[in-house]
């Protein structure tokens, strides 16, 4: 094993990235690791080799979730990151002697959920997405609800059904409208969802807690973000449509939400902050920002069918989001709600302006009216045996990092 081998052949997990995850191998129990190239660095083993002496007192890496490491705070994360960058950039006697003890091939490891997730909140922060859905579901009204430009809208999701890559999803059953009768009553059946969809989102992993009864300012909000994952909010549109009014998402959403296994540190993503869209309506002081920024993260959504046809369904970018992560955090806590380490904030479906940048099949096929091509097959919504693949990259003139892949197959 040489430093050169680690830094080759994978432009997602470069030295500028160093994302955190939890992995196991056939002989090692679940533990924390950092991805570099096509390999994983075993942080629990590095601790045993006294690599973190003077920085971390107990082996927070020798467990199946990153929460205790995250709780050590940004200052410690920064020192750990700098030490790892030095270790993985240049050959050293320590590396030469011990590398074979703490480096594994990613292809031989199984990835787990990286954090214990207490609460999961899903926002609705893309103006393009909210407008598209409004046009489809409320065709005779204004696309956006009157409150939409005054606050980042969200709902509280379910954390027990959050899964990660390579976990299959069973097609959900539920109540579905069969027909609407002449007198306006609905004929309802119990059925497997026929309009199973995805939502392209990012998930912010909360890295710091606020006390119950206190709130977080937009100016301090980034201190509360440990890192970012890809998030696929699987959605059964037919179940959702019947139950949606007037309360909001429930069984149409809570059967599966998938997050990518590698958490990209905020520190790595800082390089890719760009100006967020100007807000067209003035917001209350607690939501105002000196400097509105979004991440420039290009996200690709692909489908691979049972017959091995593969195609890109959409490419979008988180820089389009109307409400920033800072505003989401400020709004979530303005009433004194406390955030906990490991909580996840979904951005909501990320749609761009162009049709091929819409973040759900609902929008890409305009509610199933227009088919999209996947190789020599066509799709409106997902079929059994389809694998959904989300991936994302960030690049500028100097560096590139990526999120790896988030893959989930639909089962009957
Ligand atoms: Mn969503």
Ligand 1 centroid to 348 CA: how many Å? 4
Ligand 1 centroid to 60 CA: how many Å? 32
Claim to verify: residue 285 and residue 359 sit in the same structural domain? yes
Find out whether the peptide bond into 246 is cis, omega within 30 degrees of 0: yes
Claim to verify: residue 262 and residue 224 sit in the same structural domain? yes
Average pLDDT score over residue span 350-376: 96
- Residues 284 and 312: their CA atoms lie apart, in Å, by 40
Residue 261 pLDDT exceeds 80:
yes
Claim to verify: residue 83 and residue 168 sit in the same structural domain? no
Q: How many domains does the chain have?
A: 2
Average pLDDT score over residue span 261-286: 97
Average pLDDT score over residue span 291-311: 97
Going 67 to 110 to 59 to 17, the CA torsion angle's sign is negative
Ligand 1 centroid to 232 CA: how many Å? 8
How confident is the model at residue 285, as a pLDDT?
A: 98
pLDDT in tens, 16-74: 999 999 999 999 999 999 999 999 999 999 999 999 999 999 999 999 999 999 999 99
Claim to verify: residue 206 and residue 68 sit in the same structural domain? no
For the chain, the average pLDDT equals 96
- Active-site residue numbers? 129
b/e burial code for range 177-216 (CB count within 10 A of at least 16 → b): eeeeeeeeeeeeeeebbebbbbbbbbbbbbbbebeeeebb
Average pLDDT score over residue span 278-303: 97
Average pLDDT score over residue span 281-297: 97
Supply the range of the domain harboring residue 59.
3-112
Claim to verify: residue 95 and residue 138 sit in the same structural domain? no
What are residue 288's phi and psi, to 5 degrees? -80, 150
User: For 51-206, where are the E strands, in sequence order?
Assistant: 103-105, 110-112, 120-123, 154-156, 162-163, 169-170, 173-180, 186-192, 196-197, 200-206
Claim to verify: residue 243 and residue 308 sit in the same structural domain? yes
How confident is the model at residue 9, as a pLDDT?
A: 79
What CATH number did the domain enclosing 136 receive? 3.90.850.10
The one-character DSSP state at 75 is H
pTM of this structure: 0.97
Mind giving me the DSSP string for 303-326? EE-TT--EEEEEEEEGGG-SS-HH
b/e burial code for range 154-167 (CB count within 10 A of at least 16 → b): bbebbbeebbbbee
Ligand 1 centroid to 53 CA: how many Å? 42
The last residue of one of the domains, among 82, 112, 142, is 112
Ligand 1 centroid to 359 CA: how many Å? 10
In 10 A of CB 394, how many CB atoms? 23
Neighbours of ion ligand 1 (CB under 5 A): 122, 199, 233
The last residue of one of the domains, among 89, 112, 135, is 112
The last residue of one of the domains, among 52, 87, 112, is 112
pLDDT in tens, 123-180: 999 999 999 999 988 889 999 999 999 999 999 999 999 999 999 999 999 999 999 9
Claim to verify: residue 227 and residue 366 sit in the same structural domain? yes
């Amino acid at each position: 094993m040489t430093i050169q081998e680690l830094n080759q052949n994978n432009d997602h997990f470069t030295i500028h990235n160093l994302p955190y995850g939890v992995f196991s191998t056939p002989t090692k129990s679940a533990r924390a690791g950092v991805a570099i190239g096509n390999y994983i660095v075993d942080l629990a083993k590095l601790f045993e080799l006294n690599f973190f002496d003077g920085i971390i007192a107990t082996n927070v890496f020798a467990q199946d979730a990153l929460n205790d490491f995250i709780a050590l705070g940004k200052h410690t994360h920064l020192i750990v990151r700098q030490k790892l960058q030095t270790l993985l950039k240049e050959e050293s006697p320590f590396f030469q002697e011990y590398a074979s003890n703490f480096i594994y091939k990613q292809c031989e490891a199984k990835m787990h959920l990286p954090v214990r997730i207490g609460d999961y909140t899903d926002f609705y922060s893309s103006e393009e997405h909210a407008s598209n859905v409004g046009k489809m579901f409320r065709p005779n009204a204004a696309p956006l609800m009157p409150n939409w430009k005054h606050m980042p809208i969200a709902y509280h999701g379910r954390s027990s059904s959050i899964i990660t890559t390579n976990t299959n999803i069973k097609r959900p059953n539920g109540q579905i409208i069969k027909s609407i009768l002449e007198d306006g009553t609905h004929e309802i059946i119990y059925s497997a969802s026929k309009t199973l969809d995805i939502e392209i989102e990012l998930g912010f992993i909360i890295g710091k807690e606020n006390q119950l009864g206190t709130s977080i300012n937009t100016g301090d909000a980034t201190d509360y973000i440990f890192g970012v994952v890809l998030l696929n909010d699987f959605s059964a549109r037919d179940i959702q449509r019947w139950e949606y009014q007037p309360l909001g998402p429930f069984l149409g959403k809570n059967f599966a939400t998938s997050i990518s296994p590698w958490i990209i540190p905020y520190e790595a993503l800082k390089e890719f902050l760009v100006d967020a869209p100007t807000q067209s309506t003035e917001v209350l002081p607690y939501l105002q920002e000196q400097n509105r920024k979004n991440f420039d993260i290009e996200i690709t959504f692909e489908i691979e069918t049972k017959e091995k046809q593969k195609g890109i369904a959409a490419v979008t970018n988180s820089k389009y989001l109307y409400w920033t992560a800072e505003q989401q955090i400020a709004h979530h806590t303005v009433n004194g709600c406390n955030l906990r380490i490991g909580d996840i904030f979904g951005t909501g479906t990320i749609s761009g302006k162009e049709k091929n940048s819409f973040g759900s099949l609902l929008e890409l096929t305009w509610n199933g009216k227009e088919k999209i091509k996947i190789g020599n097959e066509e799709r409106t919504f997902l079929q059994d045996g389809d694998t959904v693949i989300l991936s994302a990259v960030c690049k500028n003139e100097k560096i590139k990092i990526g999120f790896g892949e988030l893959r989930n197959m639909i089962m009957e």
